[in-house]
Amino acid sequence: MNDMPQKPIALFDMQAQQSLIRAKLDARIAHVLSSGRFINGPEVVELEERLAAFAGCGHAVGVSSGTDALQIAMMAEGIGRGDAVFLPAFTYTATAEVPLVLGATPVFCDVDPLTFNMDLADLQRRIALVEAEGRLRPRAVVGVDLFGRPADWPAIEAICAAKNMFALDDAAQAFGGDIGGRRLGCFAGATALSFYPTKTLGCYGDGGALLTQDADRAALYRSLRTHGEGGGRYEVLRTGMNGRLDTLQAAILLCKLDLFEEELAARTRVAGWYAQHLDGTVALPEIIPGHAWGLYTIKLEDAAARARMQEALKAAGIPFGVYYPKPLHHQPAYAAAHAGSIGQAPPLPVSEALCHEVMSLPMHPYLEEGDVARVAAAVRAAA
Ligand SMILES: *Cc1c(COP(=O)(O)O)cnc(C)c1O
């Protein structure tokens, strides 16, 4: 160890990016301030056009958060009481919260131990159990592209098509990801994005979007995000919500979109450096084309090994995160819904184990190979 003070490494870094686009941000923000069009300003429309073009999906609708994107998509399908919504037990809370808010029942599915995405054999087993019980109607599958790795969308779409269920992509962690060159946004009936500051494309507050290839759905989403309004401002066609993306956040996102492709490439480089520097030490995420690398999540042998790794990284001044420490079916708020979803629900062993085994290392486009080497050295020393 030398005595040179070392540059701190951030888990996520929003400052490095900001310094690159600061002049553009200032100009865009100043323009919104002087225009006074804080809601539904032209920047929102411009952003929607650019998001749709980027994803190649036809339509993008700016909304107030990733959570509201999920909610608006489910409201548009009329999902509610008596409906079963299948989703992974190992994901962020919002994925399960939304069906409950709408009166529907989340059915938690286990995940694959290597991809951390929904285990589709388990999904099909649970759909069959719900069908056999006949109490709830299988209505929708919410696939999550966890940590930026696209779920197996062609397979999820096929399952949903066979059962006449709605497929909803929770791509909150994965915008920019693709499958065989087709970007997320082109799969499922709708794709929900979050622009929470630490996501692959983040704003400076809350924001989100819905992507869809269906013009009718896009029109419905626009109505729902504005209290269900119809053609005229004060005509209310349906029960909606206040779920708009504000103009300032759209202006900020437009500046950030200019860097987005480069940043995705930089994230892929960072993942490659981790793979080189950590090879053979701990279980690493598989490098696949189209991974958006929202998070870089390693897996330790067990809870004790993870605790040791956490202590070692803390001592070395390396930040990390644990996504997620508790599977959703064990959350106090969701336990009752889980118990009421399927009479004899099969266990969720992979989701439960991963909560004790995973941890996420620093991942952002402005990490240099030397930073990754420092993180890797600390991990190697403790592995
Ligand atoms: C962040 C996130 C959300 C919610 O997005 P918000 O913009 O914070 O509402 C939903 N699902 C997943 C998987 C997420 O990571």
Both tokens of 212, joined, read 């869809």
pLDDT over threshold 90, residue 362: yes
* 21-75 residue pLDDT tens: 999 999 999 999 999 999 999 999 999 999 999 999 999 999 999 999 999 999 9
Residue 309's Cβ-count burial label (10 Å; 0-12, 13-18, 19+) is buried
H/E run at residue 107: strand 105-109
pLDDT over threshold 90, residue 234: no
Cα of 41 to ligand 1 centre, how many Å? 24
What's the mean pLDDT in 247-252? 98
Instruction: Report which ligand 1 atom has the smallest distance to the Cα of 94.
Output: 10
Pick the residue whose CA is nearest to atom 1 on ligand 1.
Answer: 172
Indicate whether residue 351 lines ligand 1 (CB < 6 A).
no
Cα of 194 to ligand 1 centre, how many Å? 6
Q: 140 pLDDT band (50/70/90 cuts)?
A: very high
pLDDT over threshold 80, residue 2: no
Indicate whether residue 173 lines ligand 1 (CB < 6 A).
yes
Q: 6 pLDDT band (50/70/90 cuts)?
A: confident
Instruction: Report which ligand 1 atom has the smallest distance to the Cα of 194.
Output: 7
Instruction: Give the chain's mean pLDDT.
Output: 96
Question: Residue 280's pLDDT is what?
Answer: 87
Indicate whether residue 95 lines ligand 1 (CB < 6 A).
yes
pTM over 0.85: yes
pLDDT over threshold 80, residue 150: yes
Cα of 280 to ligand 1 centre, how many Å? 32
Question: Residue 4's pLDDT is what?
Answer: 60
Pick the residue whose CA is nearest to atom 14 on ligand 1.
Answer: 172
Indicate whether residue 174 lines ligand 1 (CB < 6 A).
no
| Residue to substitute in 196, 210, 245 for testing ligand 1 pocket (most ligand atoms within 8 angstroms of CB) | 196
Question: Residue 157's pLDDT is what?
Answer: 98
Q: Of 365, 69, 76, 74, nearest to 195 (Cα)?
A: 69
Question: Residue 313's pLDDT is what?
Answer: 97
**Measured between alpha carbons, how far is residue 208 from residues 146, 190, 203 in Å?**
17, 13, 9
pLDDT over threshold 80, residue 232: no
| Residue to substitute in 12, 63, 64, 67 for testing ligand 1 pocket (most ligand atoms within 8 angstroms of CB) | 67
What's the mean pLDDT in 139-151? 98
* 67-99 residue pLDDT tens: 999 999 999 999 999 999 999 999 999 999 999
What's the mean pLDDT in 169-186? 98
pLDDT over threshold 80, residue 214: yes
Cα of 243 to ligand 1 centre, how many Å? 15
What's the mean pLDDT in 141-160? 98
H/E run at residue 35: helix 15-35
* 272-306 residue pLDDT tens: 999 999 998 999 999 999 999 999 999 999 999 99
**Measured between alpha carbons, how far is residue 109 from residues 3, 39, 84, 119, 328 in Å?**
50, 39, 12, 7, 10
Question: Residue 156's pLDDT is what?
Answer: 98
Cα of 336 to ligand 1 centre, how many Å? 22
| Residue to substitute in 93, 95, 193, 200 for testing ligand 1 pocket (most ligand atoms within 8 angstroms of CB) | 95
Indicate whether residue 249 lines ligand 1 (CB < 6 A).
no
Cα of 362 to ligand 1 centre, how many Å? 19
pLDDT over threshold 90, residue 349: yes
What's the mean pLDDT in 226-249? 92
Cα of 208 to ligand 1 centre, how many Å? 9
Cα of 156 to ligand 1 centre, how many Å? 20
Instruction: Report which ligand 1 atom has the smallest distance to the Cα of 68.
Output: 9
What's the mean pLDDT in 211-236? 93
pLDDT over threshold 80, residue 3: no
What's the mean pLDDT in 236-254? 97
Instruction: Report which ligand 1 atom has the smallest distance to the Cα of 208.
Output: 7
Question: Residue 5's pLDDT is what?
Answer: 64
Map out the domains of the chain with their CATH numbers: 14-255 (3.40.640.10), 259-382 (3.90.1150.10)
Pick the residue whose CA is nearest to atom 7 on ligand 1.
Answer: 66
Cα of 195 to ligand 1 centre, how many Å? 8
Residue 201's Cβ-count burial label (10 Å; 0-12, 13-18, 19+) is buried
Question: Residue 206's pLDDT is what?
Answer: 98
**Measured between alpha carbons, how far is residue 199 from residues 119, 290, 294 in Å?**
24, 16, 6
Question: Residue 7's pLDDT is what?
Answer: 84
What's the mean pLDDT in 101-109? 98
What's the mean pLDDT in 326-349? 95
What's the mean pLDDT in 236-257? 97
How many CA atoms lie within 13 Å of 76's alpha carbon, on the beta-carbon side? 27
